[in-house]
Amino acid sequence: MYATLLSTLENGILTITINRPDKLNALNKQVFTDLNAVLDEIYSNPEIKSVIITGSGQKAFVAGADISEFSSFTREQSMALAKGGQDTFLRIENAPKPILGCINGFALGGGCELAMSCHFRIASDNAKFGQPEVNLGLIPGYGGTQRLVQLIGKGRALELLMSAGMIDANTALQYGLVNYVVPQEELLAKAKSILEVINSKAPVAVGKCIEAANAVFDETKNGYAVEVNGFGDCFDTADMKEGTTAFLEKRKAVFTGK
């Protein structure tokens, strides 16, 4: 269905695997085209409740952008490339369903930026993270300078950005960049166990949690106002009535997403 992605939907969880193992799953124009197509599906298909993004093979999640594709660009072309990448990753960040990054191996450059655009991340014990763009005389262009600061703080982010240093999975855990580190063979099982719990909750409320949390970092929004509106939107749902009734009746709620 997609030239560079594999996708499988099971029990409401869509698993997307970036599948360019010979290029360590590097991001090129076709990957972005495919990601935008699968995001259309994520946003519109009610059967998809949550999403995993990972990379094929044992070595890399995504080892970066495909340098050969843009090394001869003009300034204007380079800015359009960066804006396009930012727009795709903003669609991941703002998706109304949880998107979990499963980082198996290298997540460098654009790969680290893709990982950071997911709602949260878990890593295999061989994962490595970094933004090595200064080695190319560049800076991250797909949101990396912004999200790295948000996730690990300005001092640590600037050290990584300016030194092109890499951190391992345990350091990423210590920095708060990932929620868990697990052996590689347990990565997808761990992700699915987390998402199965989230999938059992009220889908509208889950989406509103994402929207309100994202508003913290959006200077155009008042996060508290977003929270109040989200609370009101949830209050009008059948799921809220089911959830409160089930609580009072001391039974497990059955949510329908309505």
pLDDT in tens, 108-148: 999 999 999 999 999 999 999 999 999 999 999 999 999 99
Average pLDDT over residues 3-16: 98
Give the tokens for residue 169: 């999975």
Cα 78 to Cα 171: distance, rounded to the nearest angstrom: 32
Please list, in sequence order, all residues whose beta carbon lies within 8 angstroms of the beta carbon of residue 251, skipping any fewer than 6 positions away. none
Six-digit token string for 58:
């044992």
Give me the pLDDT at residue 8, please: 98
- Strand 13-18's sheet: what is its strand order? 5-10, 13-18, 50-55, 99-103, 120-124, 180-182
Helix (H/G/I), strand (E/B), else coil: 97 = coil
pLDDT at 68: 87
CA atoms within 13 A of residue 217's CA, in its CB half-sphere? 15
**Cα-Cα-Cα-Cα dihedral sign, residues 141, 145, 146, 148:** positive
* Residue 12 to residue 47: CA distance in whole angstroms: 6
**pTM for this model (two decimals):** 0.97
Statement: residue 1 has pLDDT above 90 = no
Measured in degrees and rounded to the nearest 5, phi and psi for residue 6 equal: -105, 140
Rounded to whole angstroms, how far apart are CA atoms 204 and 124?
Answer: 30
At 93, the pLDDT band (50, 70, 90 cuts) reads: very high
Q: How far apart are CA 108 and CA 61, in angstroms?
A: 9
pLDDT tens, position by position, 50-90:
999 999 999 999 999 988 888 899 999 999 999 999 999 99
Reported as a single tens digit per residue, the pLDDT across 181-233 is 999 999 999 999 999 999 999 999 999 999 999 999 999 999 999 999 999 99
Tokens found for residue 250: 């001391």
Active-site residue numbers?
Answer: 113, 133
Domains detected in the chain:
5-198 (3.90.226.10), 201-248 (1.10.12)
